[in-house]
Amino acid sequence: MLQTSVTVHHSFNAARVYRIPLELFPGLSGYAHLVFADDYAVLIDVGSGVGYSNEHLEAGLKQIRENFGENADWESLTHVLITHAHIDHFGGLRYVRKRTTALLGVHKLDLRVLTGYEERLRIVAHRLTEYLIEAGVSSDERQDIMDLYLLNKHLFESVEVDFTYDEADMQVGPLRLTHVPGHCPGQVVLQIDDLLFSADHILKDTTPHQAPEQLSMNTGLGHYLESLEKIRPLARSVRISFGGHEDPIIDLEKRIDEIVGMHSDRLAAVLKLLERPLTIADISNNLFPKAEGYHVLLALEEAGAHIEYLAQRGYLSILNLDDMQPNRAVPIIYRRRSAQFVRIIGAKEYLIN
Ligand SMILES: [Zn+2]
Ligand SMILES: [Zn+2]
């Protein structure tokens, strides 16, 4: 696969940021970033480690050496920082760790994914199976979804991590880190001068994926929306934001508003659908009728995150409570409690009749 070129950006304080394009999985591209500032050479994220990802990472470093004259080699790196423990961002660590002695950092809430990967995978697979039953997914379809979920996941093995971000007081050299749980428990964004690495917390075109907190603590739509508000004060001092995927974001505050608006509309749409009794799978099919393959799971998680948000805040009731017995997972049928619509503006909720 052809790779597009590395681009360079300069902060007001002369830090150099290189964007390295990577094919992470077939059909999913994204970026690793290499930052040079003072005596620091920091690689932010390492790609998926599968397909062309490692090759593209090497090609990117080579371009930075040859076209920009930087010491972009494995020996010169001082730090490798993981923005969040999703495999498209950290899967390349097995490859990278063998080549550099740079210090590896991650947020403490994502530490176990990297250091106890096999354990974590088992737990998630267990919770996911239960979730799919509760969501009302048929057993055949559950099997397909689990097969897809586990595909490629066994290619990673645990790695040792050198430090967590709180141990470094959320600061690595000139990079200031902010914890923004939601899309992932240990999600962080990193700021250097007037540049922000927004990772998968804020993307330019796509609304970052949400999953119910039932699957993994410190995810969930409520945490995510709070974390968006946490970034709003930074937006005024940020000129360009680099997501983990897609093009850079120029107007960060506008993008935050758009994402909040999208979730607000989606919550309203879910409440509208729940005029009649439905499962999460029904709602997912309604919201994302074209989802196929791995996207079926993503759609079920996205729908579930919105249902969970509404259910926790008392907008929904469960119709088949009598079917729910200890030690027996059954599909849960929801209906809305009232005809009120929720609007979220900022982190606040407003009711609209
Ligand atoms: Zn992610
Ligand atoms: Zn990602």
- Beta-carbon neighbours within 5 Å of ion ligand 2: 88, 200, 244
Q: Look-up: residue for tokens 């990278």? A: 96
Per residue in 174-183, pLDDT (tens digit) is: 999 999 999 9
Among the listed ranges 47-51, 189-193, 312-316, 332-336, which one has the minimum average pLDDT value? Answer: 312-316
DSSP code string of 175-224? EEEEE--BSSTT-EEEEETTEEEEETTS-SSSPPP---TTTSTTBSHHHH
Ligand 1 centroid from CA 183, angstroms: 6
- Whether the CB-CB separation of 196 and 242 falls below 8 Å is answered with yes
Picking from 203, 205, 209, the residue whose alpha carbon sits closest to that of residue 183 is 209
Q: What is the Å distance from ligand 2's center to 197 Cα?
A: 13
- Separation CA 249–CA 202 (nearest Å): 9
| Average pLDDT of the segment spanning 301-324 | 94
Of all ligands present, the nearest one to the C-alpha of 85 is 1
Integer Cα distance of 57 and 61 in angstroms: 6
* CA-wise closest residue to 219 among 305, 119, 126, 121: 305
> Ligand 2 centre and the CA of 89: distance in Å?
6
How many other C-beta atoms are found inside a 10 Å radius of the C-beta of residue 67?
12
Q: What is the pLDDT at residue 152?
A: 78
Domain 7-124+150-261: CATH superfamily is: Ribonuclease Z/Hydroxyacylglutathione hydrolase-like (3.60.15.10)
User: How many other CB atoms sit within 10 Å of the CB of residue 92?
Assistant: 26
Q: Residue 177's closest CA among 107, 259, 78?
A: 107
> Which CATH architecture best describes the domain 264-352?
Orthogonal Bundle (1.10)
Distance CA 102, CA 74 (A): 8
In the chain, where are the structural domains located? 7-124+150-261, 264-352
Report CA(260)–ligand 1 centroid distance (Å). 18
How far, in Å, from the CA of 338 to the mean position of ligand 1? 34
Is there a contact between 18 and 7 (Cβ–Cβ < 8 Å)? yes
pLDDT digits (tens, 9 = 90+) for 142-151: 999 999 998 8
Q: SS3 for 126?
A: helix
- For residue 219, the ligand closest to its alpha carbon is 1
66: DSSP letter: H
Length in residues, the chain:
353
CA of 66 to the centre of ligand 1 (A): 31
Distance from the CA of 195 to the center of ligand 2, in angstroms?
A: 19
Q: How far, in Å, is the centroid of ligand 1 from the Cα of 341?
A: 29
* Cα(32) to centroid(ligand 2), Å: 11
DSSP bridge pairs for 10: 16
- Ligand with minimal distance to 209 CA: 1
Check pLDDT > 60 for residue 347.
Answer: no
Q: Please report which ligand is nearest the Cα atom of 187.
A: 1
Mean of the pLDDT values across residues 333-338? Answer: 92
Tell me the residues surrounding ligand 1 (ion) with CB < 5 Å.
Answer: 86, 200
Q: pLDDT tens, 36-47?
A: 999 999 999 999
